[in-house]
Structures are given as C-alpha cells and as structure tokens.
Structure 1
C-alpha cells in the first residue's frame, strides 16, 4: 500500500499522543512532582518552560532539515528521544537531572510535534495540503481531552513516576514505529515532481527578503503573544479552576472540554474554508482567546463557565490553523518548512515564558485575577499586530512576488 495513504492517519495518532504526553500532561504532573520532591512552583515549572524554550530555538534547524532531507528520521528520532527521556524522568531525584531531562525533551518536542509534521504534509501534498493540516489539528485538538483525564487517573491510582514511565513507553511503542513506517523517506517531490534536497539560491534569497519585511515581524509578535497565552493556560488552567471553587476532578473535566471545542472549531473551519478568506479567519481568531479569558473575570463566573470553554476553546483551535497557513497566505509556498520554522522560533520560544510568568504573577500577588488580566492584555497586543501584518503585507516586494505564484484565495479554494 502507498505510504501516502497512511501518512495523515498515522500523524494524527502521533500528534494526539505527542502533544498529550509532552505538552499537556505536565499540567497534571506538576503538583505531584513538586509535592514529592519539595521544590517551589517556579523551580518545578521552570524546567518545563526551559523545554519549550529549547523547542523554539530548535524549530528553524528542524524545519530546514525536513525541507532538505524529509521528515522520517526527524520525527522518528524525536519520538524515541521523548520516550526514553520520559522513562528517565520517572526515576529522577535531583534538580540537575530533572532540568537536563527536560532540556532533552525540549529538543524532542521540536522534532516530533506540529512543525515538522506540517512541513511533511505540505511537501507531500503541495496542491491540497490545507485539509490534511486540518485533519492533523483536529486530532491534536483532542490531546488535552484524552490525556488530562488519563494522566489524572493514572497519577491518582499509581503515582506520577509510574505515569511518566507509561507515557514514555507509549511514545516509543506507538509514535516511533508510526513515524518510521509511514513517513516517506527522503525529501519529497516539489510541485513539478523534482526532488528538493538542496536549498536553491533564489529561495535562500526569498527567505532573506521575507526576514526584512515588517509583515514577518508583526506576525512574529502576534503568534508570540498567542503562544504565551496558550502555554500559560495549558499549565495553569486546572489549578486556576480549582482556585475558583471547583473540585480537582471537576476542574479536570471542565479543562478537558476545551479540547472538543478546538476540534469543533477546526472542523467548522474546514467545512466553510472556501467561503471565509484566510486573513479574515485570522483577524477574528486572534480575538477569541483574550475574549474567552475575559469571561473568567466575570463575578460569579462559574455559572457561565461554558462561555469560557466555547470561546477560548474555539480560539485555541483556530489559532493553530491560522499559524500553520500563515507562511503560504502571506509569503507563498516556497520553503514552507524554513519559513514556518522561522516563525516558530520566537513563537514557540515565547511559550517557554508563559507558564513561568503565570507562576511568578501568582506567587507575587496570590491571585489568578492578576494573571488573567496580564494574559488578556498580551492577547490583545497580539491581535493588533496580526491586523497590522495584514495592512502591511502588500507593501512588501516578496509578498507581492509570492502572491503572483500562489494567491491566498486560490490556496483556500485548493484546500477546501
């Protein structure tokens, strides 16, 4: 059977598992780790934040490697490293070992999550990649819904060490073989059918010109802001809900409902993608997360907690699609992996400071109200920068050049 037939289903499974274990599970694991080892919240969360920082720094070289050599080795190696390091984490006792392990997990995140998976899909489906990316994000949107309850149940019944051991084993036993046997070996064919293993000079020049545009840097700020908000909430949403009076189990259930809203918003976007321009979708999406957070500031907000789930969940789901399609929508399809990696470097790096900022604010003020206010402000700054990026995109020669070969509206029609 053709590998292409199984590529997207396999990557969907690995995205659920990868994000669930490497990104979301820590929200449940942090408190038990802190309680057993006696570390402060900032010290415990700091290692996770460092992992996110490392994943951001590694995003561009990973994307460049996938552009030149394909994604099989990168994705498979990332799953292997993640699994083995989680197994090592299950036996950790010293703070030095704890931080070293999370540094390694950061590299694994860059190697086996969305960015390299998206690059593989765009490379192997150059004329019809949007719906495939949509399928991956539909699956990824379920990762918190699947892994928060599972991780909570495991920690409650067998402890955090055994839970981490099982998560590591899942990465090795499930994700590693799926990446190795379903992702095609070597660099993919370009739209004209010729292999792309080198970085042509004119494309190198294109990337350099993109870096000099105000549009690129405005997008950097916009996606950096959303990354801070998303990562802070990924770690703090459960204790935040508990601080507002919900029992631990209820807090996990409510937080897990954000996942289905991500999936629902992404599915809706896929259905109506032909009728909603890419940049219009982005313009609305960047407002949803700060608006959803604002609901949590409403007095007696527990009675309208569903509004937070719906609005924030929709924004969280759609922002992934907006970020994944920003390179072709703003700059054209050339060197998707490299351009996407460049956008991801500060964006994913900024995610590393989100959990730490929230933890520091909570320590300083003793209330999540201040944390929420700051995250709302950051989200609104990001929204303003995205709108400014749209306003400036036509002023850039590289954007006009890219638009001549791949118009954003044409892309949406192809991918709808």
Structure 2
C-alpha cells in the first residue's frame, strides 16, 4: 500500500493557516497555538515521527507561505474592494452615504487585519507593485471630504507606518505630510482629525530621515510656532516636536528657532520627563537629541526653558543614563550636553557630573572619540577648580 511522503513544512503551514482562518487570531498566536497542540500530542504519542518533524518545521523563519496563504487571499480582497472605491472617487462618481459607510468598514477591517497578519505577506504584496496601493490611499485622503472616511484613512496610514521602515520612507517623501499640515487647523480644542494627524506626523518624522525640501513650505516656522504653543495641552504635539527635530543638524534647526521665538514655560519639564521615561529605551533618542541641540546652541534658551532645580533633576538623569546605556550614540549626545560646564556649575551639579564621567571612563571600553569627549569634560572641571580662588 502506497503511503504518501509527509512534507513537514507544507503540513505546518497548512495547520497555521487553518487556525488563522478559523480564529482570526494574530499570526504569532496561531503559530504558538499549533506548536502547543503538537507538543501536547507528542507527550502522549512520543513515537509518532510525523508530529515531531511538523513541530520542528514551525520553528523555521519561512513557516508562512507569503504567496499562498489565508492572509494573502484576504489582503487581495481588501485591496480590490478599496481600490474600486478609490476609482469611483477619481471618476467623480461620488458615492452615497451607504458607500461611505462600507468604505469606513473596509478601512477598519484593513487596519485590524494589518495588526494580526504576517508582516512578510503584507510587505511582499505592497512591494510587488511598488507601493501603488498605498499611494492610492494617499490620493483618496486628498480628495475625500467625508470626515469618517478621513479618520479611518489616518488610522490606516498609522498602521501601515508600523509595518516597515520602507513604508515610512515612502509616505514621508510623498505628499501626505504636507496634506496633514495644510488640511488641519491644530487650534485648541483639537479635533479628532487634528490629533490623529499629529500622531501620524510624529511617526513619519521619528525616523530622522531627510525629506523633500519642498515640505518646508508647509512645515515652516509659523506652523511649528502653532504646534509649540499647544504642547502643554497636547502630548501628541510635544511628541511631534521631538520627532520633527530628529532630522535637523544643529546649525539649521527651525525647532530651536521656534523655541527661541516663543519658549513654552513647561517645555523644559516636559523634556525632562520624556528623557526619564525613555531611559531604558536605547532606540528612542529624540529627547536627548533635542536636549543636545538646545544645550549646544544657547545658554539664554536654557535659562528660559529650565529652572535651576529642573536642571539638577535633568543632570541626575543624564549622569545615571551615561553609566547605564550601551548605546554609543546616546553616550555621545549625553557627553555633548555635559560639555556645557557653565550651566552645570550654575546649578551646582559639577561634582555629580564629574563622578559620573569618571565612572564612565573606568567601566567602559568605548570609542576613542567618546573617551576624548569625557576627558575634555574632566579637563574643564579641573580648570574651573583651578580658577575658582581667583574669582573669589
């Protein structure tokens, strides 16, 4: 009697796909579920070789057949549905309310689907036509007047941005950031569209990537002044300022220019709290980057944004972070901030900074540039102490 040869990879894929289709659980949960079931069966049926090789196949990186799986089929259906709506809009075949309600549901389904589906399936489909579908969504946002559809489009763009860096690059270098700036007022009280737009802008600019210089026509000093003026009342506005500052060089920074022009009273406190929240996150360097830009440009701006007691709290965080972090870029920025010894002396935190820098030098095998920066800080402390009697 002929017994078919077991293809363990295909069987593992089939089991995962069945669970995904029947339960709509996130793809990672589906893989774990199949693995748990097989492990349980193997405890009772340890001699069944087929179960063991199927379970082993689950641990491979290519467990998902990105071209032929449940997620690939559902994604294609979603794209066809949404594309049809976009084409109707483009032909001025304006939909009635029922069509707009269907579109809202389709976009909600798409956003929820992206959170559960395998990222590889999504990205392969988008790359296949060079992100044309995502560009069509941007075009729809530009022409769409219905508020509910626009809200769901913003949520969709946000979910897309979380998939892959290449999606952020594509959206950032297109017209979406300009549309978000020009089509919203950003005045208190903020609307839902304002808030979602700020959240999306924050994600898009958080990569620190360069974008077309034409964007500055909309993302200008006037716009930044408006956003800075609401940071006290809107966390998303503050997060956007952190993100937008990420791509600037210190000598061309319109964020710093904006803070000079209209410094918010609470901005220094907000920045210190953000720095403290991100201490354990070596990927989010936005707060320390903005601090470095402020401290390297103007002591006057520091005096306006930070009270002396706030500076003590700030330097306490930086001193501990310098010792704790393993991220060389973060070390470099903290040391750059600490080079402003006049501010450190003014708030009476010289000894603590000196101790932190010495500990850093003793406990770290660092790059030559970092050691030179740390040693230059200690040299400044020595010179200050040498000159102190003369100032008395």
Q: Whose RCO is larger (CA < 8 A, sep 6+)?
A: 1
Shared fold (TM-score greater than 0.5)? Answer: no
Higher helix share: 1
Larger-gyration structure (1/2): 2
Which of the five TM-score ranges fits, normalised by the shorter chain?
under 0.3
Structure 2 length-normalised TM: 0.22
